[in-house]
Structure formats: C-alpha cells, structure tokens
C-alpha cells in the first residue's frame, strides 16, 4: 500500500518527489510519514487535502517532512537511514489525549475492542476498523463499566470519544439474574421455530451451524477430547435437549455434567481427498434427534502423519455462528492448559443460556421493547411486497432448500474506490453495499418496494458475549425507492433507515412474524426471500496463535440454501462476494450475471454519485439485453 500512496502523491502538482515510510513511536504505535521534495513552496495542508480526496483516511499520512532532495544510496535508491526522524514532540502533537476520567475510560474500552494500543479522543471509530457488529459490544461495555448508555444511531453519527462523551445518558447497569432451579425451561421464539422445522422434516442441514478445519501439527487426541468435555461442562446449552412435557409444551432440559462425550476419530491416511469429502457429506446429512444428547457432531480425520481435518456441527437451536468462534477458542485454550499441565482457567460465566431465556421473556415487558415493536409494526403497514425476479426456471410449488455457492472477487481498484466513496459519504461498508443491493434488485424485478433480511448478533447485553447459544436476530430491512432520486440522496435516506432499524434490533424477528399474521406461501420464506450479510473480523472472539499446530479453513461443498438469494460480502483488506442461491429457482449463469451487474452498478455510482436511480435502471436495461443473449445461448446448449 505504501507504493499506492506514493503513486497518488506523485500526481500532485505540489510534489516533485516523495517517499512514504512507516515509523513507530515510543509505545510501538505505527504511523505514516511522507518525505517530500516540493515543487515550489511547501504546503502541507494542501498536499494532505489532495490525498484525502483520493485515498481512504487510513492511507493518508499524518506527518509531512519537506526536503530539498531525497537522500540516495550509490545504487540510486532512497537511503531510508538518512531520512530525518520525527521528534517525539511531533508525534504527540498529532494525538489528542483524553483529558477527563470519563474520556480515559472510553478510550480504554475502544482500545480493548478494536485491539489498538492508543486511541485519541478525535479518532474516528469506523476509520480505525470499527463496524456495526462491535458497536453493540462497545455500547454494552459502556453500560456495564460506566453506567451510561448511547443509542446505536447516536454512536454512528458521532463516532469519536470527544463527541460521544457529551451524548452519554445515565443508565444503571442491570445484570441478568440466574433462573430458579427447575426441571425444565421454556424456549425462545427462535428456538421454537427450529423445533417446529425439526419436527416437520424440513431440510435440517440448511439450519445446522457447521464448520470444517484443516489442522497441521501433532494432535494429542485424548487431550483434544478432554478439552471438548471441559467445554461441554462449561456451557449448559451444549448438554441441553428438547422434548414435549406432560402439558404438551416443548421445553428444554439441561443434562448432567458428568456425561463424557467422545469425538469420532477416523484414520484416513492414504485415503483419497474424495473419500474425505464423502464422509463429511455423510455426517453433514445426519439429522439431529432433539430429544437425545448431544446436539453436537464432531469428527476428527487423520489424513497424514501431522495433518487432520476437523468437522463440527450443531443444530441451530443451541448455537449461532458467534458461538462456533467461542467453541473453537475455548477448546484451544483448554487444550493448551491441559497439554502444559497448567491450572484450568477461563473467565467465569456468570449466567447460562436458560438464564438468558427467562431474562428475555421478562425484558419483553419493558418500555423499550414496546417502542421497538411499534417501530417494526409501523414499518410493515400496508401490503407486504414479494420480490419477483424473472428467471429461466419455474418456482417449485413448495419451497426447497437445494443450493449452491458462487464467488466473485472485486478488483483492487474497485475496493479502493469503494473505501473512498464510503469515507466521503460517512457510511459504513454495510450501508453502501445494502443500498446498492437494493438498486440491483430493483433493476432485476422492476419493483420499488424491497425487503432484505440481515442477521445481527442479538447479544445486546455484555454478559452474553462469551456465552454459547442461539442469540442471533434477523432485521427485515424494508426500502422504498424513489426512482427520480439521485443515488447520493437515496443513500443518505437509506442510512437513516438502516440506523433506525439497528436502534430497534431488540425486537425478535419471529415476534414480528407472529404480529403480522402473514398469509403462508408454501413456495417462499416468510416476509423476505433475499438475505445479505457482511463478514468482517470478529475482534471479540479472537483465537490466539498456537505453537502446537496451525489451523486453517477447509473447503467443503455446500448444497443447501435457506433463501432464494443470500448475498454474503466479506471484507478483510479486500472485498469479495459469495451468493448462496436456490438452484431450483436460479441457474448458475443468472447468478454470475447478477454479480457482474452489481459491480457495474456500483462502478457507475463511483463515477457519478448523483446519477438518477432511473438512469441506473436504464443502464442496466442495456446490460440486460446483452445478458439475454448469454441466457439464450445457455438455454440452447
């Protein structure tokens, strides 16, 4: 990236030569310095403004040093050793330190969550790697540690400690109380839905939480198994089963602590990779019996002397994606402590999942829950739109779950323009991607009222952060599109809609479904058929490096899809898209066209942020004619 900064800087008429260097302060914090041979008078502010118009903020140097010439080595390269140092005074003058005890505590919370050593009161939360997933965690910690509160919307619109300090409201922290001891406990609405799906025989593996890893190193299988048993002992939900009680109501029952769970070990040395995939496919398709423990499947395949494939699967009724991160982190922590014969230590769990369930039921009586309910009921007044995207296939009369994944990688130039666009319009990646996805769906369906579902962690209390269980909620984001609007104006309005929705995320999705009393269409999902998710680094559940072995992802074939379309964006220093789609509704080529169209629409917006939405539709019509030819050729084949 240093070369990219230098290339952009060289385009400035104020710069003759330049070199960008990464420096460290006394606390080992890294920062960028621009060494410049100016073209005429040196004007630091003008040069910095020039870069801000072309680069994301994190790529704009904070320090600028004017030189008459760059020192060179005998080989003609810049001699980095002869570049002047930046003084400690210069470094500290660029950092706005906390000045009050409250600012210091806020800075400490940000530093913990973002994993950054030093944060000033004017630093922007989102420019330093923050995103919506961890905003909730920061708000939770502010309430727990400081007895204060701030709304999601206010945090987003004022993302510096200096501004947030002035908006905090008094709010007494209330911990979740332990549930009275009982033979059984009620289910959440989400758990009830997964129980019903299990009983009706829907394609259950579409609702499993599954992951597969390749492990390089010598695993002590007995210790690995013991580590898993410590995990299951620690989290009651991993030894919970479900059955109908004598009153005809389904409840959850916590199993005993002393049940020992064995991992399924397989010797696959000298076996073909296809045989590994066959076994994984077989165990993936095995159903869970919710009345029998455990509701977790583990398989460890030894595929070489120091190489393993590890498969883990849980039914969604007891876990979510965040839980899977917790499980892997804690199993490795236990493994390391057992291997090193250390005392077993993990932070105490103050509550268990059953305590959360009863707290959630009580929480529904609070005023904020009523406010959130009214927000969502108002949002879905009137006729509920059903998206219809033309496709070469005929939709099955009864919904199926046959699926496939296709991947699309956006170019480096696209991603650079994307970051600049977001910075300019003060929006997160999620907001801009969701806005453009709405435009894409509009151009495909010719409908201006669109609903897209998106998952949120649902961990709206700090005591839920390290707990395994099903907490995920879904927000149904409804967008009404004015085709005469410039995109920039639409984006500003869309940002308001998204922030209001996130502010009311405590209301359970399945409560909304109950309230709306939707007429059931057996060929579709309830309320929406399109999902969108943005994956970023989960800083709250970070697996430490481990000397014993290395872990990496292991690709398996996914052949299920819960929805017609699920757009999964991934942002780790680049932007990628996976579309998970129902193969009984769409052909591969239609999805490939859709991904390219998304790229083309967003590129048009980068070029002209005030382009009218109806003109984006017109542009896409021209593209559609070319796409029709591709489809016709495909159908002939």
Superfamily covering domain 2-93: ANL, C-terminal domain (3.30.300.30)
- For the domain bounded by 365-459+469-537+559-636, which CATH number is listed? 3.30.559.30
pLDDT tens, 398-426?
Answer: 999 999 999 999 998 899 899 889 988 98
- Where along the chain do its domains lie? 2-93, 114-170, 189-353, 365-459+469-537+559-636
**Rounded CA gap, 436 and 217, in Å?**
44
Question: What is the predicted pLDDT for the residue at 90?
Answer: 55
pLDDT tens, 448-477?
Answer: 999 999 999 999 898 999 999 999 999 999
156 Cβ neighbours under 8 A, 6+ residues apart = 135, 428, 499
Please say if the pLDDT value at position 155 is more than 60.
yes
pLDDT tens, 572-631?
Answer: 778 999 999 999 999 999 999 999 999 999 999 999 999 999 999 876 555 555 566 666
Distances (CA, A) of 5 to 27, 58, 79, 123: 25, 11, 19, 21
Q: Is 462 exposed, middle or buried (0-12, 13-18, 19+ CB in 10 A)?
A: buried
H or E segment and range at residue 620? helix 613-636
Please say if the pLDDT value at position 539 is more than 60.
no
Question: What is the predicted pLDDT for the residue at 42?
Answer: 87
Please say if the pLDDT value at position 284 is more than 50.
yes
Please say if the pLDDT value at position 522 is more than 70.
yes
Contact between 122 and 99 under an 8 Å Cβ cutoff? The reply is no
pLDDT tens, 233-282?
Answer: 999 999 999 999 988 999 999 998 888 899 999 999 999 999 999 999 99
Question: What is the predicted pLDDT for the residue at 60?
Answer: 84
Question: What is the predicted pLDDT for the residue at 627?
Answer: 61
Percentage of the chain modeled with pLDDT above 70: 92
Superfamily covering domain 189-353: Chloramphenicol acetyltransferase-like domain (3.30.559.10)
pLDDT tens, 479-514?
Answer: 999 999 999 999 999 999 999 999 999 999 999 999
**Rounded CA gap, 27 and 118, in Å?**
9
Architecture of 114-170 per CATH?
Orthogonal Bundle (1.10)
pTM of structure: 0.83
Average pLDDT on 364-381 reads 91
Confidence of residue 546 (pLDDT cuts 50, 70, 90): low
> Do 2-93 and 365-459+469-537+559-636 share a fold?
no
Percentage of the chain modeled with pLDDT above 90: 65
Total count of residues recorded for the chain: 637
């Amino acid at each position: 990236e240093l070369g990219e900064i230098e290339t952009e800087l060289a385009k400035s008429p104020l710069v003759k030569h330049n070199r960008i260097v990464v420096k460290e302060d006394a606390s080992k914090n890294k920062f960028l310095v621009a060494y410049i041979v100016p073209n005429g008078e040196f004007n630091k502010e003008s040069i910095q403004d020039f870069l801000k118009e072309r680069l994301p903020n994190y790529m704009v140097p904070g320090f600028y040093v004017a030189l008459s010439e760059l020192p060179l080595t005998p080989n003609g390269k810049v001699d980095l050793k002869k570049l002047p140092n930046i003084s400690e005074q210069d470094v500290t003058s660029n950092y706005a330190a906390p000045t009050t005890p409250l600012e210091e505590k806020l800075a400490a919370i940000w530093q913990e969550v973002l994993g950054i050593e030093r944060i000033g009161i004017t630093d922007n939360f989102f420019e330093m790697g923050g995103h919506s997933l961890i905003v909730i965690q920061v708000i939770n910690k502010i309430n727990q540690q400081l007895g204060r509160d701030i709304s999601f919307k206010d945090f987003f619109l004022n993302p510096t400690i200096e501004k947030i300090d002035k908006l905090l409201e008094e709010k007494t922290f209330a911990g979740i109380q332990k549930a009275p001891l009982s033979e059984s406990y009620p289910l959440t609405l989400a758990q009830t839905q997964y129980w019903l799906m299990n009983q009706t025989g829907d394609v259950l593996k579409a609702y499993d939480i599954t992951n597969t890893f390749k492990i390089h190193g010598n695993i002590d299988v007995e210790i690995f198994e013991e580590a898993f048993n410590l995990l299951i002992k620690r989290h009651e939900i991993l030894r919970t089963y479900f059955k109908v009680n004598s009153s005809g109501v389904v409840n959850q029952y916590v199993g005993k602590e002393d049940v020992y769970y064995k991992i399924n070990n397989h010797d696959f040395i000298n076996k073909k990779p296809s045989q590994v995939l066959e076994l994984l496919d077989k165990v993936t398709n095995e159903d869970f019996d919710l009345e029998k423990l455990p509701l977790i499947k583990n398989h460890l395949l030894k595929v070489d002397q120091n190489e393993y494939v590890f498969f883990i699967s849980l039914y969604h009724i007891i876990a979510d994606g965040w839980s899977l991160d917790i499980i892997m982190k804690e199993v490795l922590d236990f493994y390391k402590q057992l291997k090193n014969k250390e005392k077993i230590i993990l932070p105490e769990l103050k509550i268990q999942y059953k305590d959360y369930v009863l707290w959630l039921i009580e929480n529904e009586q609070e005023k904020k829950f009523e406010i959130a309910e009214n927000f969502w009921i108002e949002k879905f007044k009137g006729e509920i739109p059903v998206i219809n995207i033309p496709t070469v296939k005929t939709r099955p009369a009864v919904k199926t779950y046959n699926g496939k994944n296709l991947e699309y990688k956006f170019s480096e130039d696209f991603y650079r323009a994307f970051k600049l666009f977001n910075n300019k319009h003060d929006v997160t990646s999620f907001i801009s991607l969701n806005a453009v996805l709405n435009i894409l769906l509009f151009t495909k369906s010719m409908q201006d009222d669109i609903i897209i579902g998106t998952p949120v962690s649902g961990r709206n209390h700090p005591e839920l952060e390290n707990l395994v269980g099903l907490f995920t909620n879904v927000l149904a984001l409804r967008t009404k599109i004015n085709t005469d609007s410039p995109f920039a104006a639409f984006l500003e309005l869309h940002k308001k809609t998204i922030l209001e929705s996130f502010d009311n995320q405590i209301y359970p999705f399945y409560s909304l479904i109950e309230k709306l009393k939707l007429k059931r269409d057996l060929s579709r999902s309830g309320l929406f058929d399109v999902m969108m998710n943005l994956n970023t680094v989960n800083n709250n559940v970070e697996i430490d490096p481990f000397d014993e072995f290395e872990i990496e992802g292991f690709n398996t074939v996914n052949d299920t899809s819960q929805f017609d379309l699920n757009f999964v964006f991934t942002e780790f220093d680049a932007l990628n898209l996976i579309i998970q789609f129902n193969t009984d509704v769409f052909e591969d080529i239609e999805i490939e066209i859709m991904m390219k169209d998304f790229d083309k629409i967003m590129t048009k917006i980068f070029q002209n942020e005030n382009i009218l939405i109806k003109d984006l539709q017109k542009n896409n019509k021209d593209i559609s004619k070319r796409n029709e030819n591709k489809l016709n050729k495909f159908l002939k084949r």
